[in-house]
Amino acid sequence: MRQKWKRLSAAAAVLLFLAVMSVMAGCSAAGGSEGDSEKVRLMVWSPSEDQSRGSGEWLQKCCAAFAEQHPEWDITFVYGIADEATAANSIAQDPEAGADVFMYANDNITTLTDSQAIAKFGGKYEKQIRENASEALLNSVTLDGFLYGVPFTTNTWFMYYDKSVFSEEDIKSLETMLQKGVVSFPFTNGWYLPSFYFGNGCTMFGDGTREEEGVDFGGDNAVEVTNYLIDLIHNPHFVVDADGSGMAGLRDGSINAIFSGSWDYESVKHILGDNLGAAALPEYTLDGTPRQMYAYSGSKAIGVNAHSEYMVPAVELAIYLGSAEAQRLHYELRSVIPCSTELQEDPVITSDPVFLAQNETFDRTSKLQPFVSRMANCWAPIENMGKSIRNGTVTHKNAAEQTKAMNKAMNSNGIQ
Amino acid sequence: MNSAKTKRTRNNVIVHIILAVLAVIWLFPIFWVILTSFRAEKGSYVSTFFPKSYTLANYKKLFTDTTILNFPRMFTNTLIIAVFSCILSTFFVLSVAYCLSRLRFKFRKPYMNMAMILGLFPGFMSMVAVYFILKAVGLTEGSLIPLALILCYSGGAALSFQIAKGFFDTIPISIDEAAMIDGCTHWQVFTKITLPLSRPIIIYTILTSFIAPWVDFIFAKVICRANADQYTVAIGLWKMLEKEYIDNWYTCFAAGAVLISIPIAILFLRMQKYYVDGLSGGVKG
């Protein structure tokens, strides 16, 4: 029995070896040609656009350039597909078989740390990363004082508008916009709706990192916002954006401004052409005083697997993929908005409206999206609030009571 | 006499109206998906039920725009996996059902009880364990993934023998005995007597064991992970609805949904006529 098992595992090992070899044969990149270079095998995961021929093979180009810079390693790259939103789950499922270098959205950071799958950056590497990114950006990938990734783009939402309808002055106030045109907002989406509450002083987990402080969405200031939202939904120039209706409205001209992110840029550009405007979030007027809307902000970063066999090359590659040079190529090939401090002065990039809108939103009109684990209980209550206001079950009469109930649910442990 | 006839006509009319309404409700989403797949306007949301203009471009894009989401490859992957798991699991199910129906052995009752209890748990409960077992034998990387998926889908088939066994039980055992007297082995009885008499249940088994891997998402997602070249259509279609792709790919998603229904429809149409056959080839005397 035992022998049979041995034979079986030997056969499996051979099979595995063959499989690995065939993968290697498929996508090996040029390594150093010297005979004494160390053999290194790095598995890299990225979204499929980064690897597709149609959008310029950013990852392959960067990896080849990296290999050229490091003749001391004979690197074999193995590429896999995992976009930033789902990579963390795939890595956490089995860290040992996960990629050495991968890209993740910063709100998944606790998934990665909980499964002990992500390496901390320290020493000279940490210094290198810090030199290339702003403080706010670094905070988005820092947990308990440790740095967990190389940020390569900001991740937030902002406003697209039709320049033929709104002037640069109009877009500073939501109320002015609602007088001049039709505005659509993802009212029933938990990622967007809190922006109004943040504007009136509501907070989540202190500055977003202090779990023990809880959520403050139930005070009188929150009730004022709920009342404002009830009025807003009855405004004939305000349309709820759900299931892509905002984009459809933009397409047929019935809507003049939507709130979305860089992922919709190509579509919006196609629809609005030269009239495309992108800007940070406007202010809304509550009882006569202007209040700023705040988006959730985060970042996308490059992480290194804590189980990587080739730690130094993996860390070096991660830093290279997040460097100004790689970010510039990323922008040129795929319009991924760069965040490197070095590129903030580049004339070509800084004239891009999306770059300006996204970075201004990140710097001025956003709050760091909390990634404490209790945050998981906050999405459904706020989404339900949006839906209830739309359905008319939350009215001026019960607004106070409903807002307090929402706050209670957000502060609960999720099971009632 | 006359009043009985009118009554029957009236009842028929009512029944048919109810059926027609139900049929419309039933077919409505399917009709909508087909319309969407021919829709020329982009985007995931439209304000009209009927598209303003029609096009075949969505189907074309599905097969030509393969740099990001390679639908033809996903389709082939899924087809290969589904065909092989269908063959394997049909064989497993029928064999197990025959054994439990015709043979008497000690473990028979305990096995049936065990299968019943195990069958109460959803299969994906074990998916993480299954993943690690497959990883231990080296089946989770590269081109061996289809094999891993085939094993996943057909490995547990022997637990769902109940329906086939119930059917085999209805075939008179005296036929088997007659064949045995003539010198048949159990295998010959199974292939030459039982199977030809059980066409409907074979068809049923083939259909269900083809559809299960064809539409499965969970196991494919857990096992494929970052190996995009091994994705199945279920993962591909799900990807098309992610926020980065939905505006561009939504109508293609509908086209893909129409396309994946074709193999199932063909299989069903070809097999359907055997459904009615039943025991018509039965025994005389």
Q: Give yes or no: residues A376 and A354 share one domain.
A: no
Q: Give yes or no: residues A335 and A386 share one domain.
A: no
pLDDT in tens, B7-59: 999 999 999 999 999 999 999 999 999 999 999 988 888 888 888 899 999 99
A contact test, residue of B44, B45, B145, B230 with most A CBs within 10 A:
B45
pLDDT in tens, B211-267: 989 989 999 998 988 888 899 999 999 989 988 888 889 999 999 999 999 988 898
Please report whether residue A29 resides in a domain. no
Q: What's the mean per-residue pLDDT of chain B?
A: 89
Q: What percent of chain B is predicted at pLDDT more than 70?
A: 96
> From the CA of A42, how many Å to the nearest CA of chain B?
14
Radius of gyration of the CA atoms of chain A, in A: 24
Please report whether residue A222 resides in a domain. yes
From CA A249, how far away is CA B158, in angstroms rounded? 53
Among A15, A302, A64, CA closest to A56: A64
SS (H, E, C) chain A: CHHHHHHHHHHHHHHHHHHHHHHHHHHCCCCCCCCCCEEEEEEEEECHHHCCHHHCCHHHHHHHHHHHHCCCEEEEEEEEECCHHHHHHHHHHCHHHCCCEEEEEHHHHHHHHHCCCECCECHHHHHHHHHCCCHHHHHCCEECCEECCEEEEEEECEEEEECCCCCCCHHHEHHHHHHHCCEEECCCCCCCCHHHHHHCCCEECCCCCCHHHCEECCCHHHHHHHHHHHHHHCCCCEEECCCCHHHHHHHHCCCCEEEECHHHHHHHHHHHHHHEEEECCCEEEECCEEEECCEEEEEEEEEEECCCCCHHHHHHHHHHHCCHHHHHHHHHHHCCCCCCHHHHHCHHHHCCHHHHHHHHHHHHCEEECCCCHHHHHCHHHHHHHHHHHHHCCCCCCCHHHHHHHHHHHHHCCCCC
What's the maximum distance between 2 C-alpha atoms anywhere in chain A? 82
Determine the pLDDT at residue A212. 87
User: How large is the average pLDDT for residues B267-274?
Assistant: 82
> From the CA of B182, how many Å to the nearest CA of chain A?
41
Determine the pLDDT at residue A382. 94
Taking residue A313's Cβ as centre, other Cβ atoms within 10 Å add up to 23
B138 to A19: CB separation less than 8 angstroms, yes or no: yes
Cβ distance A371 to A199 under 8 Å? no
pLDDT in tens, B134-153: 999 989 888 899 999 999 99
pLDDT tops 90 at residue A412: no
SS (H, E, C) A256-293: CEEEECHHHHHHHHHHHHHHEEEECCCEEEECCEEEEC
Please report whether residue A8 resides in a domain. no
Cβ distance A297 to A155 under 8 Å? yes
> From the CA of B228, how many Å to the nearest CA of chain A?
6
> From the CA of A123, how many Å to the nearest CA of chain B?
31
From CA B138, how far away is CA A261, in angstroms rounded? 40
B132 to A19: CB separation less than 8 angstroms, yes or no: no
From CA A307, how far away is CA A35, in angstroms rounded? 27
pLDDT tops 70 at residue B282: no
Q: Give yes or no: residues A229 and A355 share one domain.
A: no
Which residue in B68, B144, B244 is closest to A19 by CB distance? Answer: B144
> From the CA of A46, how many Å to the nearest CA of chain B?
9
Backbone angles phi, psi at A101, to 5 degrees: -130, 130
Please report whether residue A322 resides in a domain. yes
Q: Give yes or no: residues A257 and A173 share one domain.
A: yes
Residue B63 has which token pair?
A: 């097969």
Q: Give yes or no: residues A210 and A310 share one domain.
A: no
> From the CA of B67, how many Å to the nearest CA of chain A?
5
pLDDT tops 60 at residue A26: no
From CA B92, how far away is CA B153, in angstroms rounded? 12
Q: Give yes or no: residues A316 and A395 share one domain.
A: no
Determine the pLDDT at residue A207. 81
pLDDT greater at residue B124 or residue A354: A354
Q: Give yes or no: residues A319 and A239 share one domain.
A: no
* Chain B residues closer than 8 Å to A53 by CB: 67
**pLDDT band at A13; cut points 50, 70, 90:** very low
Which region among A27-31, A40-44, A232-236 has the lowest average model confidence (pLDDT)? A27-31
Which residue in A81, A99, A244 is closest to B247 by CB distance? Answer: A244
Q: Give yes or no: residues A167 and A278 share one domain.
A: yes
User: What predicted TM-score, i.e. pTM, was given to this entire model?
Assistant: 0.81
Q: Residue B38 carries which side chain, given as an amino acid letter? A: F
A82 to B226: CB separation less than 8 angstroms, yes or no: yes
From CA A324, how far away is CA A217, in angstroms rounded? 39
From CA A358, how far away is CA A155, in angstroms rounded? 8
Cβ distance A222 to A403 under 8 Å? yes
Give the homologous superfamily in CATH for domain B60-277.
MetI-like (1.10.3720.10)
For B68, how many CA atoms within 13 A lie in the half-sphere containing its CB? 18
pLDDT in tens, A199-233: 999 999 988 878 888 899 999 999 999 999 999 99
pLDDT tops 80 at residue B115: yes
Taking residue A56's Cβ as centre, other Cβ atoms within 10 Å add up to 17
pLDDT tops 80 at residue A178: yes
Domain boundaries, chain B: 2-56, 60-277
From CA A203, how far away is CA A213, in angstroms rounded? 9
Which residue in B45, B143, B226 is closest to A22 by CB distance? Answer: B143
Residues with Cβ < 8 Å from A127, sequence gap 6 or more? none
Enclosing domain of residue A285 = 157-296+370-411
pLDDT in tens, B182-199: 999 999 999 999 998 888
User: How large is the average pLDDT for residues A169-196?
Assistant: 94
> From the CA of B132, how many Å to the nearest CA of chain A?
8
Which residue in B65, B68, B141 is closest to A20 by CB distance? Answer: B141
Burial annotation B137-152 (CB, 10 A radius, 16+ → b, else e): bbbbbbebbbebbbbb
Which residue in B135, B228, B247 is closest to A48 by CB distance? Answer: B228
Which residue in B43, B226, B242 is closest to A90 by CB distance? Answer: B226
Name the residue with tokens 């001049």.
A180
A245 to B45: CB separation less than 8 angstroms, yes or no: yes
* Chain B residues closer than 8 Å to A58 by CB: none
Q: Give yes or no: residues A281 and A320 share one domain.
A: no
Name the residue with tokens 């990734």.
A149
* Chain A residues closer than 8 Å to B68 by CB: 48-49, 52, 54-55
Q: Does A155 touch chain B (CB under 8 A)?
A: no
CATH number, domain containing residue A335: 3.40.190.10
CA distances from B119 to A147, B95, B101, B159, B208 (A): 47, 18, 19, 7, 16
From CA B227, how far away is CA B142, in angstroms rounded? 7
Which residue in B131, B142, B248 is closest to A22 by CB distance? Answer: B142
The C-alpha torsion from A43 through A48 and A51 to A56, rounded to 10°, is -160
Backbone angles phi, psi at A368, to 5 degrees: -60, 125
Among A383, A385, A390, CA closest to A405: A385
Please report whether residue A398 resides in a domain. yes
pLDDT in tens, A280-319: 999 999 989 999 999 999 999 999 999 999 999 999 999 9
* Chain A residues closer than 8 Å to B41 by CB: 251
Which residue in B45, B137, B250 is closest to A12 by CB distance? Answer: B137
From CA B272, how far away is CA B200, in angstroms rounded? 9
Determine the pLDDT at residue A327. 94
Residue B160 has which token pair?
A: 């769902």
Q: Residue B16 carries which side chain, given as an amino acid letter? A: H
pLDDT tops 60 at residue A365: yes
Q: Give yes or no: residues A64 and A177 share one domain.
A: no
Q: What sign does the dihedral B150-B155-B160-B164 (CA atoms) show? A: positive
Taking residue A13's Cβ as centre, other Cβ atoms within 10 Å add up to 12
pLDDT tops 80 at residue A9: no
Strand ranges of the sheet holding A158-162, from the earlier edge strand across to the other edge: A238-240, A183-185, A257-260, A158-162, A276-279
Q: Give yes or no: residues A260 and A405 share one domain.
A: yes
pLDDT tops 70 at residue A241: yes
Determine the pLDDT at residue A320. 95
- Considering its fold, how many domains does chain A have in total? 2
Determine the pLDDT at residue B277. 56
* Chain A residues closer than 8 Å to B47 by CB: 248, 252
From CA A46, how far away is CA A327, in angstroms rounded? 14
Q: Does A23 touch chain B (CB under 8 A)?
A: yes
Among A399, A59, A93, CA closest to A229: A399
Query: Please, which residues 249-268 of chain A have a Cβ atom closer than 8 Å to chain B?
Result: 251-252, 263-264, 266-267
Q: Give yes or no: residues A179 and A265 share one domain.
A: yes
Classify residue A379 by burial, with Cβ atoms within 10 Å: 0-12, 13-18, 19+: middle
B226 to A8: CB separation less than 8 angstroms, yes or no: no
* Residue of chain B whose alpha carbon sits nearest to that of A7: B137
CA distances from A305 to A96, A192, A317, A388, B224 (A): 8, 32, 12, 43, 19
